[in-house]
Amino acid sequence: MSTDAVKEARRQVEVCNACRYCEGYCSVFPAISRQRSFSDGDVVQLANLCHNCRGCYYACQYTEPHEFAINVPKVLAEVQQASWQEHAVPQRFAGAFHRSGVAIAFAVVIGFALIFWALKALGENAGGEGFYALLSHTAMVAIFAPAFLLPLLSIGLSLRTYWRKVGGGRIQISDITAAVGSAARMKNLSGGHEEGCNFEDEDRFSNARRWRHQAVMYGFLLCFASTCSATVLHFVFHMPAPYGPLSLPKILGVPGGILLSIGTLAMAELKLRADRTLSDNRVWGGEMGFIVLLFFVSTSGLVLYLFADAGVLDVLLATHLGAVLALFLLMPYTKMAHGFYRLTALVKDAHDQRS
């Protein structure tokens, strides 16, 4: 991790700890006020609590041109990115994605090619219906189960290292429920104000960013629930796909895909308008690339559902599965990881408040 970024962040939060004007803004500032000094682990924990809502920056009297040059959202964003890259497993892949969003495009293209050739090679002997006429269920499980489970294992190992770094102790169920409740409401994206934060405009409070994040999060969770329900139907109830429009996988998956597509598109539009000087601009391309990939995954899934009978099933399926494969494999090294770190930071914060 960049020691310069941590040192600068420590300097700034020490000023914040002396000032305390922003104490009620979000979880970061109460966490600051509980400390008298800040270790590297404390600074990393604060960085992962920060939601970059920017209200503190616009309220601060010590921003440039003041000699203190306080810019808490930016410096914590830099520490946050550095912490994800430091704890990534394997670490040598951590910075590759964020150096350029082009890495996502390459991953998607490779995924397309692999799935396309798999379809060509296995399609004639798949012997199933619908999608499984092109690629058997066994082949799909063989490809996607490791592609999903291994990145999750990687993230789990990363979070264990992070927990040790920030001095995490023994947690209780109440810590987890408090963290999940905060994440579900996107509480900290309000900037401590019911009317929202200043992410869009320094002179206006808005909940737009909060709502867009919620659309992405709940859309993704609905899509994941759809996949899980299809898995249960297949293996437990021996009901293989394809499923009808009133089946549980479709009832969950279609609204989830719509929410995810709308949410990611709206997030991209908001990110284009946002002030880049208040975030880690070095990884802007990677973050935008991830949003585009997530949009492509959800939208290609909806297109596949709507036009599967149009004679282009092989192309649509290869495109969608290639995008999903890229999303899974890149998960530990993209902005997707921030959800896991954020939740872990909220658990640690709930633990600290109780202790």
**Which residue type is seen at 228?**
C
Residue 100's pLDDT is what? Answer: 62
Residue 19's pLDDT is what? Answer: 94
- What gap in Å lies between CA 8 and CA 49, rounded to an integer? 17
Residues 112/300, Cβ–Cβ less than 8 Å: no
Residue 13's pLDDT is what? Answer: 96
Residue 77's pLDDT is what? Answer: 94
- Interaxial angle between packed helices 248-273 and 208-235, expressed in degrees from 0 to 180 and rounded to the nearest 10: 150
Tell me if the pTM is above 0.75: yes
93-354 has which CATH code?
1.20.950
- What gap in Å lies between CA 320 and CA 325, rounded to an integer? 9
Residue 132's pLDDT is what? Answer: 72
pLDDT in tens, the chain (355 residues): 568 899 999 999 999 999 999 888 888 999 999 988 999 999 999 999 998 888 899 889 999 999 999 999 999 999 999 898 888 888 777 766 666 656 666 677 677 767 766 766 655 555 666 677 777 778 788 888 998 999 999 999 999 999 999 999 899 999 999 999 999 988 888 766 667 777 777 777 888 888 999 999 999 999 999 999 999 998 999 898 888 889 999 999 999 999 999 999 999 999 998 888 899 888 888 888 889 889 999 999 999 888 877 677 777 888 888 888 888 888 888 888 888 999 999 999 999 988 7
Residues 229/241, Cβ–Cβ less than 8 Å: no
Closest CA to 351 of 181, 185, 180, 178: 178
Domain spans of the chain, in order of start: 3-86, 93-354
3-9 long-range contacts, CB within 8 A, separation 24+? 5/75, 5/78, 5/79, 5/82, 6/40, 6/43, 6/44, 6/79, 6/82, 8/75, 9/43, 9/46, 9/47, 9/75, 9/76, 9/78, 9/79
Residue 254's pLDDT is what? Answer: 96
- What gap in Å lies between CA 260 and CA 246, rounded to an integer? 20
Residue 135's pLDDT is what? Answer: 74
Residue 225's pLDDT is what? Answer: 96
A 10 A CB-CB count for 291 gives 24
